[in-house]
Structure 1
Amino acid sequence: MTHANTKPATLGELRASGHAQLSVKQEIRTNLIAALRDGRDPWPGIVGFEDTVLPRLERALIAGHDVVLLGERGQGKTRLLRTLNLLLDEWTPVIAGSELGEHPYDPITPASIRRSAELGDDLPIEWRHRSERYAEKLATPDTSVADLVGDVDPVKVAEGRSLGDPETIHFGLVPRAHRGIVAINELPDLAERIQVSLLNVMEERDIQVRGYTLRLPLDVLLVASANPEDYTNRGRIITPLKDRFGAEIRTHYPRLLSDEIAVVHQEAHLEATVPEYLLEVLARFTRLLRESTAIDQRSGVSARFAVAAAETVAASAVHRSVVLSEADPVARPVDLGTVIEVLRGKIEFESGEEGREIEVLEHLLRRATADTARERLGGIDLATLVSAVELGDPVVTGERVTAKALLAELPDLDILDVVAKRLHAESDGERAAAAEFALEGLYLARRISKIASDDGQLVYG
């Protein structure tokens, strides 16, 4: 599409161009159907919902329904809501200078109706980008009706206008999103009396301010997110409001390990090389946390946990490279332990687990590491490595051991080349990480021992 500056600049030019007006929901439906028909992905950056959440959401949007997404924290609800504006037309015409961004064919405020009548085809128009047609509000207990709907503007009243004059109203978030999308995050946190103020907006499409009903045929798609537990916990979505949402869609955490890893790749900002098998360990660890009876599953284990864990492991590798003057920081299995202390606060434990938090996390991290080692190194006979470590000198690693020092301690065995090839390890740092991963896998399989010394070093023997 051409840039906004080359488009019609007056109502007359817009009519002459053949432009047709669509409601927001018609616009989204048209663009969504076109994307599906052309085989384009309407949901860039959304991972793991392809066969579950997205088909339901697409059906709801085609039906023209307002939508509430239900799911635990960190399931990508907000990310999904923020992609909705990509289904709007890239540019849309609005009456120049209008407070609510009204369509030139359909002014709805008294000021715009008056200007349209006075200027006719000379009514100036502007073009608004779809990024400006998405409004988001985090519902907090102190959110007011004025924030969402509007209030009487005392300055305008002081100018001599009467309270009954609709032009005395300062509009809130929802009217200002006219011809766009309004997203309310954590809807149950909104006080019930504030939720009531949305009822007219959703059904009758008018607004009430201070007892004065203003007939505003608002054109908005209202979407919201909520945690299912909030219905009984901190607050709830009032029944009449639930009834007005055409679709209630449950979200979920990634169901495939590959999706969990893909989310980490997409969201994490890694300051060092983190081998793929270590990301797999963290993804498995996150999944084990979601299955553990020691963890409060009502609050969930966010996808942000795995992302933050990967960033923490990378940061540990950078820290080591700076302290020990290594050129290229590469994360090693020894860095995995840093995740537990740093991230334990991101998880809610069941009430009977006080004092056992670290123990639970260490156990699940060992399980994740052992499962990944079996998966990644299955079929490789590591007996020669076991014998060499048992009979020769022990292998010392730790946060204060460089990759070169670790490689120098390793026995000269062909099997380590096989391990390096299987784990796609090429640089010294990657080969050291691969060897350490193999040793950790053997320790967890109880084929060799591991002792932690007082200075933080780990000795495999």
Structure 2
Amino acid sequence: MADAGAPSASTLGELKASGWVSRPVKQEVREHAIAKVAAGEPLFAGVQGYEETVMPQLENALLAGHDVVFLGERGQAKTRMIRSLTGLLDEWMPIIAGSEINDDPYHPVSKHSRDLVAELGDDAPIDWVHRDTRYGEKLATPDTSIADLIGEVDPIKVAEGRYLSDELTLHYGMVPRTNRGIFAMNELPDLAERIQVGLLNVLEERDVQIRGYKIRLPLDVMLMASANPEDYTNRGRIITPLKDRFGSQIRTHYPLDVRTEIDIMLQEAASLDVDTPNGAIKVTVPDYLTEVVATFSHLARSSNQVNQRSGVSVRLSVSNYEAMAANALRRGLRSGETSPVARVDDLGALAASSMGKIEIESIEEGRDGVIMESLIKGAVLTVFKDTVPPEHTRAVVDAFEEGAVAHTGESMTSAELAAVVEQVDALRAPVAVLTGGDESPASVAAAVEFILEGLHLSKRLNKDASGESATYRGRT
């Protein structure tokens, strides 16, 4: 039974009558890429920050019909871009019915399909496959074998009575099964060098040779690969003849600015809004704290106390944003607030979501927490200086120098924190800058805590911390 939406032709004769034209997969991708570029549209959605760097190179590679290797650290959307290339394939493609390797009805290459067309001619049945199924992917691991990628003799078929010399005894590997599609090898340098040799024919001669058989199986495959730059020297390498056969090598990178990091972070982060017996709870993360999370990642990428060879993935920003919002949600669940707003206290949750994603380099043991805390403080201070105008904080500092005292902490409710504005009237102006006029207790509380912490990190207020509570005072 044909898939819903697939063309109606069900035999080779009907396919010919429909006017369908066979063309190589790279030409297919090229034609769709030409249409996208000519229309000024991105090749695919969901990848940000590469508009002026990576995408022009990828467009060139696709227009040139190249196989591509993406070179970059972890978390740089290499696999996402490769998988998204299926959107540049025709939605539906005909194959000889029952073919294991997506045989072109006009040019069948497997014995099954050749025999079927020879026997039935234009009555040979065809199936239609969707573009989403024309993608194959393998994570390179040391135990990956030629049989996995190319193929091997199927002992069950031999046991059924076929001769070893019979092509029908073959069990095709992942590459032949992706014939007329896109095949991706992730972390290519991790693939044993002797196995990499097996891909040479695929890239140059466009065929595979399975041991013990005098057959040439011409394939039509676009080969994509990803690799980490450090893999060239640390865990393995891409053999020179294989590198030479890739048409283009494209270098990826992390977001070049905080704004792009924020856009990606908000795109990828999961919503933490929940429904409870007492009603829905919606978590809000202020823009300035969103910027703190993104800035934290950027500071980590430039810190000499973080191993830069392993990279600082954008996944760090996404996980940290989710962890901060989750801590705000937890506060809301405990206090009964239905609209909790994330605040500086919630940044403590970043420790758990960060430590598995960055590698701290320190001479002294046990300093990971101290370095993490320093990076968080640096991010808060950076955003505070960029967000809160100095002219709005002078009066706040003066008020504390004259004896004002403010208590904060995770255990305090939003109403209690917001009441600090009533005690220190000078806070109203900078709070309004951060809240944009939102006078809800949760928004005001978050702004108050951010301002006080920013002034402390600017060395303009003293802070006495004890557990989850803190007290801010003047410096005199």
TM-score range relative to shorter protein? over 0.9
Please give the alpha-carbon distance, in whole angstroms, between the structure 1 residues aligned to 2:176 and 2:79: 21
1:82 is displaced (CA, Å) by 1.2
CA contact (8 A) 1:206 1:213 kept: no
- Give the aligned partner of residue 277 of structure 1: 288
Are residue 102 (structure 1) and residue 103 (structure 2) matched? Answer: yes
Bigger CA drift: 345-354 or 216-225? Answer: 345-354
1:406-439 per-position Cα deviation (integer Å, ceiling 9, x unaligned): 1123336365255334443623212211121111
- Give the aligned partner of residue 112 of structure 2: 111
Please give the alpha-carbon distance, in whole angstroms, between the structure 1 residues aligned to 2:462 and 2:378: 17
1:25-79 per-position Cα deviation (integer Å, ceiling 9, x unaligned): 0000000000111122212001111111111111111111111101111111111
- Give the aligned partner of residue 332 of structure 1: 343
Are residue 156 (structure 1) and residue 157 (structure 2) matched? Answer: yes
Please give the alpha-carbon distance, in whole angstroms, between the structure 1 residues aligned to 2:5 and 2:233: 48
CA contact (8 A) 2:136 2:182 kept: yes
Are residue 413 (structure 1) and residue 425 (structure 2) matched? Answer: yes
Distance change (3 Å), C-alpha of 1:341 and 1:112? closer
Bigger CA drift: 173-182 or 316-325? Answer: 316-325
1:218-257 per-position Cα deviation (integer Å, ceiling 9, x unaligned): 1110100000111110111111111111111111001021
Please give the alpha-carbon distance, in whole angstroms, between the structure 2 residues aligned to 1:236 and 1:66: 18
Distance change (3 Å), C-alpha of 1:95 and 1:353? farther
Residue aligned with 1:266, SS:
helix
- Give the aligned partner of residue 292 of structure 1: 303
Please give the alpha-carbon distance, in whole angstroms, between the structure 1 residues aligned to 2:168 and 2:81: 36
Please give the alpha-carbon distance, in whole angstroms, between the structure 2 residues aligned to 1:397 and 1:149: 63
CA contact (8 A) 1:94 1:104 kept: yes
Look up the equivalent residue of 1:219 and give its one-letter code. Answer: D
Bigger CA drift: 274-283 or 412-421? Answer: 412-421
Are residue 365 (structure 1) and residue 365 (structure 2) matched? Answer: no
Please give the alpha-carbon distance, in whole angstroms, between the structure 2 residues aligned to 1:445 and 1:236: 47
- Give the aligned partner of residue 173 of structure 2: 172
Please give the alpha-carbon distance, in whole angstroms, between the structure 2 residues aligned to 1:422 and 1:351: 36
TM-score, normalization by structure 1? 0.95
- Give the aligned partner of residue 277 of structure 2: none
TM-score, normalization by structure 2? 0.92
Are residue 58 (structure 1) and residue 59 (structure 2) matched? Answer: yes
CA contact (8 A) 1:253 1:303 kept: yes
- Give the aligned partner of residue 378 of structure 1: 389
- Give the aligned partner of residue 314 of structure 1: 325
Distance change (3 Å), C-alpha of 1:88 and 1:338? same
Distance change (3 Å), C-alpha of 1:425 and 1:128? farther
- Give the aligned partner of residue 31 of structure 2: 30
1:283 is displaced (CA, Å) by 0.9
- Give the aligned partner of residue 436 of structure 2: 424
1:405 is displaced (CA, Å) by 1.4
Residue aligned with 1:214, SS:
coil
Are residue 197 (structure 1) and residue 227 (structure 2) matched? Answer: no
Quick one: percent identity of the two aligned structures?
A: 53
1:444 is displaced (CA, Å) by 1.4
* Gap regions ≥5 residues in structure 2: 273-282
1:448 is matched with which residue: 461, 466, 470? 461
Please give the alpha-carbon distance, in whole angstroms, between the structure 1 residues aligned to 2:86 and 2:173: 20
Residue aligned with 1:209, SS:
coil
Residue aligned with 1:296, SS:
coil
CA contact (8 A) 2:93 2:131 kept: yes
Are residue 396 (structure 1) and residue 407 (structure 2) matched? Answer: yes
Residue aligned with 2:55, SS:
helix
1:349 is displaced (CA, Å) by 2.4
Distance change (3 Å), C-alpha of 1:183 and 1:317? same
- Give the aligned partner of residue 237 of structure 2: 236
Residue aligned with 2:217, SS:
coil
1:403 is displaced (CA, Å) by 0.9
1:3 is displaced (CA, Å) by 5.7
- Give the aligned partner of residue 91 of structure 2: 90
Give the alignment of 1:38-57 within 5 angstroms: 38-57=39-58
- Give the aligned partner of residue 209 of structure 1: 210
- Give the aligned partner of residue 434 of structure 1: 447
Distance change (3 Å), C-alpha of 1:282 and 1:392? same
- Give the aligned partner of residue 275 of structure 2: none
1:339 is displaced (CA, Å) by 0.7
Look up the equivalent residue of 1:281 and give its one-letter code. Answer: V
Look up the equivalent residue of 2:359 and give its one-letter code. Answer: E
Please give the alpha-carbon distance, in whole angstroms, between the structure 2 residues aligned to 1:78 and 1:26: 22
1:192 is displaced (CA, Å) by 1.2
Please give the alpha-carbon distance, in whole angstroms, between the structure 2 residues aligned to 1:60 and 1:138: 23
Distance change (3 Å), C-alpha of 1:125 and 1:148? same
CA contact (8 A) 1:277 1:423 kept: no
User: Root-mean-square deviation (CA), in Å?
Assistant: 1.8
Residue aligned with 2:328, SS:
helix
Look up the equivalent residue of 2:123 and give its one-letter code. Answer: D
CA contact (8 A) 2:61 2:248 kept: yes
1:382 is displaced (CA, Å) by 1.7
CA contact (8 A) 1:420 1:435 kept: no
CA contact (8 A) 1:376 1:423 kept: no
* Gap regions ≥5 residues in structure 1: none
CA contact (8 A) 2:190 2:237 kept: yes
Bigger CA drift: 392-401 or 18-27? Answer: 392-401
Please give the alpha-carbon distance, in whole angstroms, between the structure 1 residues aligned to 2:413 and 2:386: 27
Please give the alpha-carbon distance, in whole angstroms, between the structure 1 residues aligned to 2:362 and 2:32: 49
Look up the equivalent residue of 1:452 and give its one-letter code. Answer: A
Are residue 457 (structure 1) and residue 457 (structure 2) matched? Answer: no
CA contact (8 A) 2:427 2:448 kept: no
Please give the alpha-carbon distance, in whole angstroms, between the structure 2 residues aligned to 1:435 and 1:286: 24
Please give the alpha-carbon distance, in whole angstroms, between the structure 2 residues aligned to 1:329 and 1:447: 29
CA contact (8 A) 1:425 1:434 kept: no
